[in-house]
Structure 1
Amino acid sequence: MSPDWMQILQKHGETVQHLHAKVQIILASESLTVDQVLLLGRIVDKGARYADGLASQMLEAGVGPSYIEAAEALQEIYKVLLAAIDAKLQALRRRKIVLVSDT
């Protein structure tokens, strides 16, 4: 029995939408620490690796192009989230350097 790709894509799509909303809220927090951003990055990276694996499995299974496009869209969302997390991490690190040099 082959996987129900549509159900898998729908479920993961819902998850990534929820994750996207939560990440935006978290990254907007003024009290966020470098360690918290690193943890968030690891969580999102785990989802990104799942999406990569899903796309690979679908390619191997020879599913239709619309399914592959949907899997690739999930991968893109994860790339955007990881880029936002990286930008926040860099900003926090720059702020920490500035605060240390001001003292």
Structure 2
Amino acid sequence: LPLTLPPILDNIAWFVGRWECKTTAGERFPEPMSGPYREILEVQISDVPMFDRPPVNVSTIAVTNDGRDVHSEVGFMTSKPFLEDTGFVEFNKPKQGDDLVGIETVSNN
């Protein structure tokens, strides 16, 4: 059976799927490529854990047009509700607002 998107992830439902792009230059974050490349980003629903926020799996692969350079990354992403009681005191945080999504990367490098 296909997995369904947990309700807490509804705000990133538009992002789930396969995204492809082609470039005319080699500039790329975090590593430049030797020339123009094609990149595929896949965001897939994963199993819901028994605790913590449910994630989506994220993978990307970039390949130069001549096939000489290949760069791939895998990881996951979670969504945090706009209003969440974390137990910490927060100053100047609005009580209500638009349904915003913030994306940040975390690395051990």
Q: TM-score, normalised by structure 1?
A: 0.30
Bigger relative contact order, structure 1 or 2, given CA contacts below 8 A and separation 6+?
A: 1
Q: TM-score, normalised by structure 2?
A: 0.29
Normalized per residue, which structure has more strand? 2
